[in-house]
Structure formats: structure tokens, C-alpha cells
Structure 1
Amino acid sequence: MRGLIRFLLVFSMVSTHLAIAQSKLPNTPVRAVTDDYFGTKVADPYRWLEDTTAPDVVAWMKAQNDYTRSVLASIPGRGPLLDRIKALDNAGDVVSALQVWGGRYFYFKTQPGSDNRKLYVRDKLNAPERLLVDPEKLTQADGKHFSIDYFQPSLDGKYVAYGISVGGSEESILHVIESASGKVLPDTIDRAQFGQPNWLPDHSFFYTRTQKLTADSAPTAKYQKLRTYHHVLGANPDKEDAVFGYQVSADVKVTEDDFPLVAFSPGAPKYLVGVIFHGVKHEKDLYVAPFQADANAKMIWKKVADQSDAITGFDVREDSLFLVSHNQASRFKVLRTALDKPDLDHATVIVAPSNVVVVGIAAASDALYVQDLDGGIGRLRRLSYRDGAIEPVKLPFDGAIQTLVTNPTEAGAWLELTSWTKSPLWYALDSRSQKLTDTGLVAQSPVDYSQVESEEVKVKSADGTMVPLSIIHKRGLVLDGSHPTWLDGYGAYGITLDPQFSPILLAFFERGGISAVAHVRGGGEYGEDWHLAGQKLTKQHTIDDMVAAAEYLIEHKYSSPAHLAGEGTSAGGITIGGAITQRPDLFGAALIRVGDSDSLRSELMASGPANIPEFGTVKEPDGFKALYAMDAYQHVKPDTAYPAILLTTGANDPRVAPWQAAKMTARLQASTSSGKPILLRVDYDAGHGMGSTKTQRDEERADEMAFLFWQFGVSGFQPTLATK
């Protein structure tokens, strides 16, 4: 009987899907291209979709999106669900990215009724806040919106440099505003996506700029040959010379794919630190030079570390350089060496490796603050400059340190703390008492999570490795396998999926839903070994861990395949893409959000060269082997019963090109035998998600949630005969 009921339910969803769509799916021709990688021939039937400026591709994507919109609009519960999501998202303030300079407090804030984050300042903590930059006022007549990408106050808090971009593109144009008057200076610098403005005492600053491209430049040239410049307020940036970066100094080795940065700290005013980022690779090259007030003086750089030294973070204080390293320390250690004569071979280990993962360090005037991750829980330690003693700082609850902030000229620190069930609050740490007090910058969210709880379990992966799994749901959950369950996985770059509070998920919990987060390998939950265990040739572990989490949720009756959805965002597209192509039977639905689906072709994107250290290159045999194995697009099989899938992309995405979602959509639509929908959602005023407005995020979440409820058979989300 259960089998018959399930068949009827699936049949109803399939027939309804076919009937309610007001527009039709476009014809998708196969124009196969075959590549030969080291003797292995690989067919690519939808290569033509990579040219997203071609008229036929533009028309195809628009037709796909029109079809998706007609389907999603026909789900009866979507409207009320969107209203609920908006109410939850507008229930309280959100404050982020706090910085304290010159006694002033600068931060992003999104208020109820506001559609985008804005830049605010307080002249002191208990002073009234003032609005500095409101990107909503820049919205164009055609509706295209602008967002603030970053900001950096000057050392005395007099000025703020900030980046503004259109349509979620992250194509920042750097501006400068006076914080007391709100006057915007005439300084305007384009090509500043990675601006990283770093102020000097004289109100000039270093920043990084991309090269000027020509009409025939390859897509991969976009983020190549970067240079760091020294900008003097009022000067023409196009006439200022580069001071660091590609082909600037014979003393500094920089490839065309590297990202340069010059840092100055008032905590160590006699020195500059030059940093070379090798794309997304954590390990950096570091150089030190004496700081010279004469802007025309030649910088004499001395090499401190290269990639072999495994330096992932640093800070400075007076004559000391503090370094975070995983060299013979998978969970990281902290070293100290002299800035005037740096010598890593004889550096002092001031924080020894242990069972906790050292996430980062931040230098204040009184101490070095060490941020840790202990079994998924954020911890903090204080290392005194005076006697070298290190002691834990007691936090008000177990959760995540979402942000750690210090000022090298002030004692103490500021922390943003949150958990799965507690909204973020900003705390100030008193350097003498070591007590944390609520700053009052943001109030506790009024969204009531009192009936929501979280569980932390471990699941056994294919090779026996125990993988952490976080499960969040309403209290009193009956484990009968009936619950709509939303499983998220990422697993790349050593990034951890820390606990975070999401008010809009309450709309999912209210309908019996479960949110789960798989802390798969490739992330950094257990240090660098955990990261490397899900990278390149070991990437299958990431997928195995996601599958193991799905199996655990089913076996322990949190959910069932008919009620389980998997999600992967960005590099997580590899994770969910691998899971659904290898085990489509485990999932009733899936979300591939701005996902990397065609890994074999990813290095041809603008962001491709920067990502080679994480995923590999097809120019090498092992690189091809790894990329082919993780390429979900290449593992879509004909006549296979795939789950219902909603793929999303932003037309302005600079990180994962929209053609990735397009190609994956086309191949799934041509291959699935389940009759379940494969939908492509395109936002033409968005990018990778950074810079999206609150309205855009709410609309997207409503689409995703309604899609899942529809596929899971949730009452109120099933189209009726009247809608056919």
C-alpha cells in the first residue's frame, strides 16, 4: 500500500509539473565536442552553452528561466511562504564587519525594511549611529542595484575607503568618504575588486588593482597580473606607480596568477609586510621591508617565507612578526620571529600545536588573541606580550566566533558570537578583567528559536572516517522518516561550516522541516589534514561524506529518500553533484546553488587559474584524473531516475560562470527518467550571492523552500486542478 501511495504521489507531481508550466522548455540541441586528455577521450555535448553572450545561448537561458518562473509561481504555498520569510528576515537588525579606528566604530547594518546593508559609524560606542553610505540611493532607473563590497577606515577614523559594485558583480569601484561630515571625496578608482585598502598615517593608502583588459583579452586574464599601488588622496590613480606585485620588483617573485598585498600596522610602524597569495591556496609568501615615509623611496624587500613554510596567517606587534603555520602541525601552531631579521628556522613556537585547530590570530596592544576551533565549537585564547602566558577566555555560550576584531593601538578585542539557535551578538572583551560585555550594537533577534534545538553527531563514511553532522530541528521531533530534510555540504578550501543563526529557516522548521549540515572533508573542521583529505585526487572523500550523512539521516529515521534534499553552493556543487550522480536513490530533491558542476572546464573561467591549487589542472595527468572524477556534468548518465533539481545562477557571477549551471541543466534534462523537474533559475541582477539584496535572497529562499515542499508532498504546496 505504501508503494502504491508513493507511486500516486510521484505521478501526481510529475503530471502537475507538466500541466502547470505556462511556458515550454526550449529545445536544447546537442553539438558534441570531444577532447583528448592524455589518451582519454571525453565528450562534451553542450559546449556551445559556454558562450553566454551568443544570441542563441542568451535566448536559451531566458527560456529556461521563464519556464522555471512559471513552474515555481504555480506552487500555491509559495506566496504565503515568501511573506513569512520576509517577516522573519525583517524581524531585527543585522550588524557585521565591525572595525574600530580612532575611537570610532564602523560597521555594516541591515535594518527591518531596508533592502541592503549600509555603512554606519558611531563616534564612540554609546554615541548615536550615523549613516555614512547608503547603496540603495544608487539604484538605477532600470532597477539594477548597487552594493558595498568592503570598507576600511583610516588609522585615525577620519576617512573610509569603500568599494561599490553593481548587480552583485563584485566589480568594485573604490571611493573615499569623510566620516565626520559624510562628504565623498572625488577619488574614484576602478578595477578595485580586490582593493584591500591599507591606510598609512599620512592618509594615503595601498590598494590592489587588476589590469586593464582589452576587447580580445581571454576570460582568464581578468584576475591575472595584479599589482599593488600607493594612492595619495586627490591624485590621479592612473598616473601612480605600482609598488608591489607582478613584474614590479626583482626582489619579489610574483607569477601572473598571484594576488599581491602590502600591509601596514600602527602596532609595528617601522615595517611593511608584503603578501603574495597564490590564488585560493592558503599558504602565502611573505616579505618584510622597512617603512619609509618618503613615498618615492624604493622598497627593499626581504623574504620571510614561501609556500614550503606553510604560513597561512600573520600579524605584527612592535618588532615581532607572528605567524600561523601548519608545517608539521596539521591543526596549526603560532610562531614568532623578529621583523628586522626574520628567520623561520629559528622562530619561537609561542602556541604549540594541540587538539584544537588554530583558526587565526589578531594583535591588540595588550596581547595576541588566538581564535580556535574545538570539535566544531569556537574558542578564544589570550597570549600576553608581557610574560608570554596563554590562557583561555570564557565565552558566554558554546557556538561560533563569527568574527574576531582587534585594534593594534587598543587593548582587548571585539567578538561576534552566534550558534545554530542563538542570533549573533557583538561583545567587547575587557583586557584586565577578561570579561565579555554586550556592546549593544545589535539586539537579540526577536525571532523565537526557543523551540528549536541542535544535535551534533558523527557518521561513518565509506572508509570508516567519522564525519561530524549538525542537525537542527524543533524540539520533540518524532523520528518516523517523514520530515522534510535539507542537508547542506561544502568541503573545499579548508573552509569550515560553523554554527550560524538563520531566522528564515524557522519557516522550514514550522512545517516539520529539519536542517542538517555535513562537515565533509575538504573543509577545515579538523585542520589541514581534513582539508587535504577532500582535495584533488582525494575529492571522492568529500562526496562519500555527504552520502554518509544522507544515509545516517535516513537510517535513523529523521527523513527518508522521498523527503530528503541535498544542497551544495559554489564549490559545494561538486559535493552535491557527486552525491546525486553517484547515489540518486538517496534524494527526493537537490539544490545546486551557483555550483561548480563542470570541473574539467572550470579553469577556463575568469576565476579558474586562482582555483588550480585547490582542484588541479587538466594540463597534468593527475590533475585531469582528479578533475574528471569530481566533474558531476561528465557523470550524468542517460535514462537515470534523478531527483527533482533546482539549479541557480547569477548572470553577473565572477566566481562560477553561469554556463556551469546551464550545461548541467541541459544534460540532466536530457538524461533523467524520473519525470521530476530539472529547473534553471537565473537572476539577471545578481552574481555569486555577494551583494544580493535582502529581497533577492528572500525570493530565492522562497523558491527553494517551496520547490522542496512541493517535491516532498507537503500540504498546501501541491498544485490543484484549478491551477492546471
Structure 2
Amino acid sequence: MGYASRRKDTKIAPYHRRNAGEDRMRAVIGLVAVAAFAAHAQTPPAAFPARNVPATFFGTVVDDPYRDLEDVKNPDVMAWAKSHADFARSQLDSLPGYQGLRSRVAELDESATASVGTVRLDGKGTLFFTRRGARDNTLKLYQRDTKGGETLLVDPDDWQKETGKPHAINYFAPSFDGQLVAFGISAVGSEEASIYVMETASRKRIGEPIDRAQYPAISWRPDSRSFFYWRQQKLEPGMPATEKYQNGRSWLHVVGTPASADVMVAGPEVTPRMQVRRTDFVFVFAPPGSRFAVAVVSNGVQREAAMYSAPLASVGKPDTPWARICDFADKVTWSAVHGDDIYLLTYRDSTRFSILRTRLSAPDLAKAATIVPASERVLVTLQAAKDGLYIEARDGAVKRLMRRAWGAQAALDVRLPLEGSASLLATRQDVDGAIVGLSAWTRAREIHAVNRAGKVTNTGLQPLGAFDAPTGLVTTEVKVKSHDGAMVPLSIIHRADVKLDGTNPTLLYGYGSYGFSEDPNYQAMRLAWLERGGVYAVANVRGSSVYGYDWYKAGYKTTKPNTWKDFIACAEYLIAQNYTTSARLGILGGSAGGILVGRAMTERPDLFAAVVPLVGVLDAIRAETTANGVPNIPEFGTVTKEDEFRALLAMSSYHNVKDATAYPAVMLIHGVNDVRVDYWHSSKMAARLLAASSSSKPILLNLDYEAGHGIGSTKQQRQRQVADYYAFLLWQTGHPEFQRH
């Protein structure tokens, strides 16, 4: 599972054996916690006592003065973290402009009539989708028939009423005939989903839930009464947390029978005809309209996958005759099935990708036909429908939609009503057309249906709200020269009346991992920043794939420094062009984007006024000791290999903090229930900065005890988080409404 949430708890290893000195340290922490809680909320909590736990890798000694904060179950550590969370909350709540900003963020967010998440189709063309209404706190699952009638199927609030805890729908899949829907639901942002099955006509739940089903890998069989799913292994007492995502398997479940009767169909030591490591994930799919099943083998984070095919009727029986379609070395990153054919998106011949076709009955990649050749555009993804193959393609700052009709000789552009970002939301191999999301930097996403004739119709699933198409905003697309001459795309959004005089509070955002690119998107809450004269800038640094696979690999493991150096170049550009100054520039990055903003700050602390790492990866050296750290080794590296250790040390913000350095203001935001990035990344970084920074600027640890990585957060949690980081940045960039006098 990637640190990011776009693709598809860690219980920390037990506190190591203590000696008398450690017992004294625990007593000190206890006194610190008591003192902090006794103090007024505006009094900064005491520092956490440093106790270095050095480690040596390939002759290099790596210090770790706040290793004790990893023991998040230790009562003293918990008390210290809570005291800092309370202090951060008091600091934000007492800012003069905070309450007004938070009210405005809520008003903007709730102005939208609806916000749609995932969309799926059944074999009759019925739409299934998650949507959050204007007054809803969570996404709910609905069904819309071909005549437009809608039915509410799953409301997470029902689970909250039963348990007292907020719940969220993680994923769902309708059966072929639409009479059943399987869905995963989890509590308090944990992503620890259990699968439920519901009759769509009666809303009656069938059978018992299936736990340990974190991934959205449900695939119904044509009988509409059974499905494949992936399940992680059960951690037995004494097993380390790093085993959590290893040795998982795919299963076949028949609706109405207990999970104990399910048949194991793929996984390590299950399918001898596949090459599957203990750390691999194997997902089995039954594509509509095909006689074959497809198994996808992934390591969890890399885009490349190995794939196998077998007759669908043979899956679940002894010695299923799986035939290899492609291996990791074939550089295939996506696929779609139509009948007996599989279409493969690959960068084998071009880093901008091409599409190949081979047969599922006798796959042979060496003889595969090129269906869509490489071009200047970057092919992003593909989906099959009854009328053709639909393809997303990135063309500079625009993402377009193409279709290659079955039997046609070329893929042609679908004419769309908006030039910005086109994203494929749903197709189905036995249904004509596609469901597509269209958005831009200054216009919210609307959901359209494309029919076989190429006609595009607004579905009305997500009507524009009062603030979803604002006027008076300007978007500028530029390319910024980085440290080595690479040209980095930078998108800049602001009010048309903003003067380029260097006085504007500016927020620079970036990510730069897993090949994820920042496509044009709109969020009404962003207006709360822009209305106050703020500039909002988004950098597509290396590590994204905005220019294809080579752009991604130029910000990966040993080349990772390019990501924050590109980001620094974009910051310098904004200053040079008089958008802002270093005293008015803040940066924001989430999850793996924590590497980006953390290292930009530690390399150039003079360049920024404020930094917000959001659920950030900040201690890259210790990351692989966590449950989700192991699956991320292919993306970032391991300390067991010298070149990768040195790359991890270079990208670890925590280990690059220097004593007696004037660091900018920092607010570290984290959900305590995060299963992707353990929250001790933020607490360790906070402790280190508090000890090292020679400036008087605040270091805040902002923790949410009912949130995780952001997946499953309620609307109110999202609103508060956005208000928190906007207020913090406006405070630290000198906006007059947010200054204490």
C-alpha cells in the first residue's frame, strides 16, 4: 500500500527492554506530561527528553534522539503527544481570524449540492456511486437506474449510530445483475475495512462481514452470487507489525456462506504457476464478457505489474492453468480486457507509453500488436467498454480523452465541453460509453456520460454549486528551470486583481512520488485562501509522471533529491517574479509529499516562512520498520542496500535537521489512526525541530485522534484541517487579519 491514498495499525514493535536509566527517563517524561497538562493551554509544553539510539549502516552512524516517541502506546509518550495536540489547537483557535476563516471554509464546502466519489456500472448500465450531499458528513452509496431514479443503499451513519464511531465507505462493487452490492467499510479513518454484502432491492445485509479486507479488490463472477477478494493474513500474537501486508491471498466467496468456507485462489505458495513473493499482492478479476480471469501481481507501490490469465471456470480448482501475460520487466502498468483480448499500457518502447494487444487464451507479448503507438502525449490509463477502448492522455497541462472503437485503425479525441483534466471514472465491457469527470483549476468537477456516438452529456450527479465556477481568477502555466536545467511545470492561480509586488501570501504545493501527477482540479474551500489575496501554486516536480516514465524515475530513490530541488526552484521563481517573498511563502505537502516539503525546508530554511507536512513521511530511515513501510521499499528503498540507504538518509527530513538553525514556522498535521504513515513521523520531527531551531517561530504538532491518513475523514474533519493550515500559513506569512496584537 502506498503512502499515498490515490491508489489503491500499525502496532509499533514492543518497547525495547529497559534498564534503570530508561526507567528514570520514563519518570521524567511522566513529570513532563503532568506539568504540561497543568499549565495553561497557551503555555508551550515541555520538550521531550532526548535519548539517542544510534545505528550504524555501512560505516555511517545515524543518530536517532527521539526513538522513544515510536512507542506510541507508552502512556508517557501518549501524554506528551496529547499536550502538544492541545497546545496546537489552542494556538489556532485563538488566532484573530480563525473562526471567521473556518466558517467561510465550511460555507464554501457546503455550497456544493453534492460531491461524488467513486462511480461504477452494473451490466444493465445502472450507476452505483458514492456521494456526499450538502448536509452530509460522509460519502453515502447510491444507485441510479437508467431512468434517473435514485436509491440510497449504504449510509455510514448507520454504523456510527451502532458503535458511536464515525465510519466511511472504502470501496464497493455491484454484481453483474445489480441485485447485490459488496462494499468495504471502516471506522475512524483506520482503512481497516470489512466487506459487507447487501441486496439492493431490500437494503438487507446478507451473511457476516469479512474482516482484514483493506484493498478495493472485489470482482464479481458472472453468476452475480460469488466474487473474488483479497484478504491480508491474520497477525498472530508475537508476529511483528511488518508482517501485516505480507502473505496475503485472494479468495473466492459465495454470498450467504461463511468466510471460513471461502476458497483460496491465489497468493504466495498457493499458485505454483505464478511467481509470487511473500511481499506481493495478487488480485484476481473476472472481466465482464470474457471467458477468462486475470490475476494481477503487484508489490503494492510500483506501477509495473505481472499478469496471468486462466479460464474463469478453472479458478479455485486444483492446479489452475495460469498462463503468464507479462512480467514486471515488461514494463506494463495498466490493462483492460475485451472478450478474449487484453490491452496493455506499457513504456517498453517509449517512456510516454503505448498500448499493446494480445490474446488471453494464448498470451504472447513478443507477438503483441501495437494498437495505440507512442506519441508526444503521455498515455495515462485505459478502460474497455462495449463500443471501444477509452484512454486518458496528458497533453501538456491538459488531460484529454481518446477512444479507439473496436475495429478502428486509430484512437481519436472525444470532443469535451471543458479543457482541463478529463478522468475516466467508469466503463464496463458489456455497456456502451464511459463516465468521465471534467475539471479545471477554476471550475469544479462535473460528471459526464459519453455515448458510442461520442456525444457528451452532463449526468447531473454533481451539479455546480454557488462557488464552483468563480469568475475573476487567473491561471498561469509556466515552466521553471531547475538546478540541472530540467524545466518543471508550475501552475499558478490567484485573483485577477492581485498585484505582483511581492506582498502576496503564497502557498506552494507539491507531491513528487509514485509517478502521481498534479492535474487541474478545483476545490471550493481553496477560495478561502484566494479571497484573502493569496496565491496558490502547484509544482509537478520530478517523481510525478507529467512528462512520462523518465520524469518519474528522475525523482526516485537515488534521484529523489531532484524532487525538492525542483520545488526549491519553483519557490525561487515565485519570489523572482514578485508573486511573493520568502517572508510570505508557505509550503504544503502530504504523505510522501512530506519528503518534498521537509527536505526543501531543511535544505533551504531561509526560503520559507512556514511549512505544513500533512501526514508526512519524515523519518525515511525507520519507515521500513512499520507495517506499511515494507510494501513501500520498492518506491523509496531499504537500509539493507548501501546505495538505497544513502538515498533514504538524503531524503529523511528528521535526519537532516541541524542544530542551532533558524527554521521557519512548522505545523505537522497527522491522524493518530494512520495506517499508511505512522504518526510518530510527525511527533519525532516536532521534537527534533523544537530542540534544534534557533528561531522563535512556532513548531506545532496538530493531531486528530479520530482520523487516519485522510481516507474516511468526515466533511467536518476535512473542513477543520483546511482551515487549520490556511490559518497557520496566513498567520506566519503576515496577513493582518491573523496577527495577535
The normalised TM-score by structure 2 is 0.93
What is the match of residue 379 of structure 1?
Answer: 400
1:694 counterpart (702, 707, 715)? 715
1:350 counterpart (355, 368, 371)? 371
Q: What displacement does 1:686 show?
A: 0.5
* Amino acid in structure 2 at the alignment position of 1:403: L
Matches for 1:10-21 after TM superposition, within 5 Å: none
* Amino acid in structure 1 at the alignment position of 2:540: H
* Amino acid in structure 2 at the alignment position of 1:616: G
Deviations 1:80-106 (A, max 9, x none): 111111010000111221112123111
What is the match of residue 428 of structure 2?
Answer: 407
What is the match of residue 302 of structure 1?
Answer: 323
* Amino acid in structure 1 at the alignment position of 2:158: K
Cα distance in 2 for residues equivalent to 1:45 and 1:644: 21
**Contact 2:207 / 2:258 at 8 angstroms: preserved in 1?**
no
Q: What displacement does 1:21 show?
A: 5.1
2:254 counterpart (216, 232, 241)? 232
* Amino acid in structure 1 at the alignment position of 2:79: A
1:467 is paired with a residue of what secondary structure?
Answer: strand
What is the match of residue 347 of structure 2?
Answer: 326
Q: What displacement does 1:49 show?
A: 0.7
Cα distance in 1 for residues equivalent to 2:106 and 2:690: 32
**Contact 2:185 / 2:195 at 8 angstroms: preserved in 1?**
yes
**Contact 2:265 / 2:315 at 8 angstroms: preserved in 1?**
no
What is the match of residue 193 of structure 1?
Answer: 214
**Contact 1:403 / 1:417 at 8 angstroms: preserved in 2?**
no
2:457 counterpart (437, 440, 445)? 437
What is the match of residue 7 of structure 2?
Answer: none
2:511 counterpart (474, 490, 507)? 490
Runs of 5+ unmatched residues, structure 2: 1-38
Q: What displacement does 1:141 show?
A: 7.9
Deviations 1:335-361 (A, max 9, x none): 001111100011111111111111011
What is the match of residue 273 of structure 1?
Answer: 294
2:428 is paired with a residue of what secondary structure?
Answer: coil
Q: What displacement does 1:186 show?
A: 2.1
What is the match of residue 213 of structure 1?
Answer: 235
The alignment status of 1:446 with 2:457, answered yes or no, reads: no
The alpha-carbon distance between structure 1 residues 703 and 20, as it changes in their structure 2 partners (threshold 3 A), is farther
2:583 counterpart (562, 579, 598)? 562
The alpha-carbon distance between structure 1 residues 219 and 512, as it changes in their structure 2 partners (threshold 3 A), is same
What is the match of residue 16 of structure 2?
Answer: none
The alignment status of 1:675 with 2:704, answered yes or no, reads: no
What is the match of residue 291 of structure 1?
Answer: 312
The alignment status of 1:262 with 2:314, answered yes or no, reads: no
Cα distance in 1 for residues equivalent to 2:548 and 2:536: 25
2:657 counterpart (612, 620, 636)? 636
1:95 counterpart (110, 113, 116)? 116
**Contact 2:602 / 2:653 at 8 angstroms: preserved in 1?**
yes
Cα distance in 2 for residues equivalent to 1:46 and 1:554: 35
Deviations 1:650-709 (A, max 9, x none): 111010001100111100111111100000011010100010000001111111111111
* Amino acid in structure 2 at the alignment position of 1:233: V
The alpha-carbon distance between structure 1 residues 622 and 409, as it changes in their structure 2 partners (threshold 3 A), is same
What is the match of residue 598 of structure 2?
Answer: 577
What is the match of residue 27 of structure 1?
Answer: 47
Q: What displacement does 1:23 show?
A: 3.9
Cα distance in 2 for residues equivalent to 1:648 and 1:314: 36
**Contact 1:174 / 1:195 at 8 angstroms: preserved in 2?**
no
What is the match of residue 123 of structure 1?
Answer: 145
Q: What displacement does 1:218 show?
A: 1.0
- Once the two structures are overlaid, the 10-residue window that deviates more, 480-489 or 179-188, is 179-188
Q: What displacement does 1:438 show?
A: 0.9
Deviations 1:270-311 (A, max 9, x none): 101111011201110101101117854642111121111001
Q: What displacement does 1:407 show?
A: 1.1
Cα distance in 2 for residues equivalent to 1:191 and 1:363: 30
Matches for 1:171-190 after TM superposition, within 5 Å: 171-190=192-211
* Amino acid in structure 2 at the alignment position of 1:223: Y
2:572 counterpart (551, 556, 560)? 551
2:632 is paired with a residue of what secondary structure?
Answer: helix
What is the match of residue 6 of structure 2?
Answer: none
Deviations 1:352-374 (A, max 9, x none): 11111110111011111111111
Q: What displacement does 1:714 show?
A: 1.3
1:653 is paired with a residue of what secondary structure?
Answer: coil
Cα distance in 1 for residues equivalent to 2:414 and 2:296: 30
1:154 counterpart (149, 154, 175)? 175
2:738 is paired with a residue of what secondary structure?
Answer: coil
2:631 is paired with a residue of what secondary structure?
Answer: helix
Deviations 1:32-68 (A, max 9, x none): 0111100111111011111111112111111111111
**Contact 2:264 / 2:316 at 8 angstroms: preserved in 1?**
no
The alignment status of 1:337 with 2:374, answered yes or no, reads: no
Q: What displacement does 1:391 show?
A: 1.3
Cα distance in 1 for residues equivalent to 2:61 and 2:706: 38
1:535 counterpart (556, 570, 579)? 556
**Contact 1:195 / 1:209 at 8 angstroms: preserved in 2?**
no
* Amino acid in structure 2 at the alignment position of 1:260: V
Q: What displacement does 1:600 show?
A: 0.9
Matches for 1:76-87 after TM superposition, within 5 Å: 76-87=96-107
What is the match of residue 14 of structure 1?
Answer: none
What is the match of residue 392 of structure 1?
Answer: 413
* Amino acid in structure 2 at the alignment position of 1:404: L
1:624 counterpart (630, 642, 645)? 645
Deviations 1:110-168 (A, max 9, x none): 111111111111122x4231111110222258852100000111111111100000000
Deviations 1:403-457 (A, max 9, x none): 332111011111011011111111111212x121111222112105111221111
1:69 counterpart (74, 78, 89)? 89
What is the match of residue 42 of structure 1?
Answer: 62
What is the match of residue 138 of structure 1?
Answer: 159
Matches for 1:451-462 after TM superposition, within 5 Å: 451-462=472-483
Cα distance in 1 for residues equivalent to 2:343 and 2:466: 41
Cα distance in 2 for residues equivalent to 1:141 and 1:45: 43
Cα distance in 2 for residues equivalent to 1:514 and 1:179: 46
* Amino acid in structure 2 at the alignment position of 1:417: L
What is the match of residue 685 of structure 2?
Answer: 664
Cα distance in 2 for residues equivalent to 1:595 and 1:608: 13
Cα distance in 2 for residues equivalent to 1:623 and 1:122: 50
Q: What displacement does 1:20 show?
A: 9.1
Cα distance in 1 for residues equivalent to 2:572 and 2:650: 22
* Amino acid in structure 1 at the alignment position of 2:706: D
1:380 is paired with a residue of what secondary structure?
Answer: strand
Q: What displacement does 1:239 show?
A: 3.0
* Amino acid in structure 1 at the alignment position of 2:457: T
2:196 is paired with a residue of what secondary structure?
Answer: strand
Number of residues of Structure 1 aligned to a counterpart in Structure 2: 699
Q: What displacement does 1:195 show?
A: 4.6
What is the match of residue 4 of structure 1?
Answer: none
* Amino acid in structure 2 at the alignment position of 1:222: K
1:614 counterpart (635, 642, 646)? 635
1:216 is paired with a residue of what secondary structure?
Answer: coil
Cα distance in 2 for residues equivalent to 1:490 and 1:97: 23
* Amino acid in structure 1 at the alignment position of 2:265: V
2:105 is paired with a residue of what secondary structure?
Answer: helix
**Contact 1:313 / 1:360 at 8 angstroms: preserved in 2?**
yes
Q: What displacement does 1:394 show?
A: 1.2
Misfit runs of 4+, over 6 Å: none
* Amino acid in structure 1 at the alignment position of 2:332: I
Q: What displacement does 1:542 show?
A: 0.3
